[in-house]
Structure 1
């Protein structure tokens, strides 16, 4: 197995767990890697809703989806991920992906923040169907990354065990605050 990068690892877990042709949310669109991956899972019958607060992220993602002939499978939304409940109903979503932090190659001052990230995870959990899954790639460092990581981990730790299974992974032999892949399943 060669899945050593966090997104590759998360995609491999998602492939084994996600219902095909479902409704998926990419809560942090970035440059569209997760959106394109989810569009492939969605197939012709499924749908992806992707969020970002930066117009440039929507531009990157739209271009990527066009190049991969996936554009008709996704709805790209310029809005914060904490507002995802405005775009999907309770218990209708099969999978939600988060990649916290900043746009790769973008302005590091524009990044996800602890308060809205916790709100987004909370909103996302209410949207998940029974048997649905949430994948979180939590990056720390920078000005707000440690606060965000700590708040997210505390929130996840306190989820009711009868309703959610939370599995936290870690890169054990990497230095400089490696990312943390987390998976949440809803009963």
Structure 2
């Protein structure tokens, strides 16, 4: 866990000046992890400020995906919280953060990223059009299955794990983030 905090701190220091005094934000954009999210900042610039996503930021850094997620996009990121990572079997996160496991970590993380910006209402429309379940292909080659009950959108990974979208439509300059409560895993 010290490795996660150290990596996150080093990463956040590099971007804190860029995000601390952001000039504008959308009042429609929700707070995430106790921090304002700014629609004129990219996914990484916003994520480093969320206290609920320090493990995700450390993982993105370890996987070498920072530049990609700062790129033009557009991207949709289903962003697991620290609690979602904590729910994995003991030692999983620490093991994945080791340099020798970078490929596996990259695969898992890119199974949370879609190569276009998809807002929740649009996703719900696709689910309805597909009669209740819509396949969501990710940049990692995984296909998540999206469903919804009432207002709650759910994603099922290739291992049958189900995540709920807990905060939707967090607009970014290069896409959108949807906060989820589970880590999505590829088929093994």
TM-score (norm 2): 0.29
Higher RCO (CA < 8 A, seq sep 6+): 2
